[in-house]
Copies of this chain bind each other. A is one copy, B any other.
Amino acid sequence: MVKEIKGGVCAPKGFRASGVHCGIRKNKTKKDLALIVSDVRCAAAGVYTTNLVKGAPILVTKAHLADGYARAVIVNSGNANTCNANGVEIAEGMCALVAQSTGIPADDVLVASTGVIGQTLSLDPIAGGMAELVGTLGDGSTAAAEAIMTTDTVKKEIACTFTVGGVTCKMGAIAKGVGMICPNMATMLCFITTDAAISPEMLQKALGADVKDSFNMLSVDRDTSTNDTLLILASGLAGNGKICADGADFRAFRRALAFVTTRVCRMLARDGEGATKLIECRVEGAKSKKAARLAAKSVVCSNLLKAAMFGADANWGRVLCALGYSGAALDIGKIDVGFRSAAGVLEVCKGGAGIPFSEETAKAVLSADEIRIEVSLHDGAFGATAWGCDLTYDYVKINGDYRT
């Protein structure tokens, strides 16, 4: 039984967090530096962007995670520290600052950055803010979640309890990401903590398997970021028998992880740049899991479909079009399509051809702020879900002048 609770990354035993404004951003009311620290050394795992252009922090985090353990994560917003000649030096410098202030070895500190690409990041404001950042460490999941926001309009935080071998464990996460979102092995930034005891190998296995159905099924704009980073730290303080192999305990852990990551994906999609609606596409009856994923993701990625959802226009031809170029094997003549929201259900296509529907009902169903597109391929037993958002005037506005 996975159950939602409050507390974010500080809900699991052993974790403290904080978030402050240190001056990377000019706006003094906007926090720009976050820290998550564990009381004990944690098993840790990560997945990262597949973009060939990788933020320097990713290179440093990978090196520090090579042994499967970590104790802290430092994150700044306002600058991606990417495509800068001194990027690795700066990222190492951030870890060294945490080490000096906390006594945690620098190679147990992970680092991530988000913001504009190609502008040199200075260590000065980070060094200046370190005393406050470390001094305020505590129940600061919300402050940390705020400090990693860029054009996010809401902070993303989630936590849950679950049971492993009769022992209650907790898991929590903070995340950010609104544009340049088409994760491929990870989203922009997401940090997960848990007090479950689990080996680094099983933690990496769980994370790697989970993203296929969570972050990799999410798209705001098909632009895979250079800084995508998903990290998980497991303190082991819950007291469960350490998960070192497949089995019921590992499955329980996987279910909790899926609960957290799926909820984060929905939060990210709903707050996509300029978005007014969460768009969820559920594909059933696919020939293979791969076909189901390709089909569902293609639908939520279509600019045309996204603009139609913004306009509450039941232009289902765009769903079929997106299915058709998805690369998924499918039989067009068998496809059923419907739209579902809190306002009702609208069947629009049966066996690949249009069926009559009420434009009034269509407007009502599609005016909700959460739309589910239901696709039945009648071609097999596999399903998948993808998340995205509508394409709006505000997406264009936000991205027409991001740097200034």
Contacts and interface: CB of A to CB of B under 8 A. Distances in A.
A40 interface: no
A399 B304 contact: yes
Contact of A84 (B307, B354, B392, B395): B354
A225 B117 contact: no
A325 B391 contact: no
Nearest to A320: B53
Interface string A118-146: 11100000000000000000000000000
Contacts of A322: 223
Given A179-B304, A307-B395, A404-B313, A83 B118 contact: no
Contacts of A380: none
A283 to B, nearest CB: 14
Number of identical monomers bound together in the oligomeric complex: 2
A302 interface: yes
A317 interface: yes
Contact of A53 (B82, B179, B332, B391): B332
A26 interface: no
Interface residues of A, number: 64
A84 B353 contact: yes
A51 B392 CA distance: 26
A392 to B, nearest CB: 6
A318 interface: yes
Contact of A401 (B311, B324, B392): B311
A116 interface: yes
A175 to B, nearest CB: 19
A276 to B, nearest CB: 11
A368 to B, nearest CB: 16
Interface in A301-328: 301-304, 307-308, 310-311, 313-318, 320-325
A212 interface: no
A391 B404 CA distance: 18
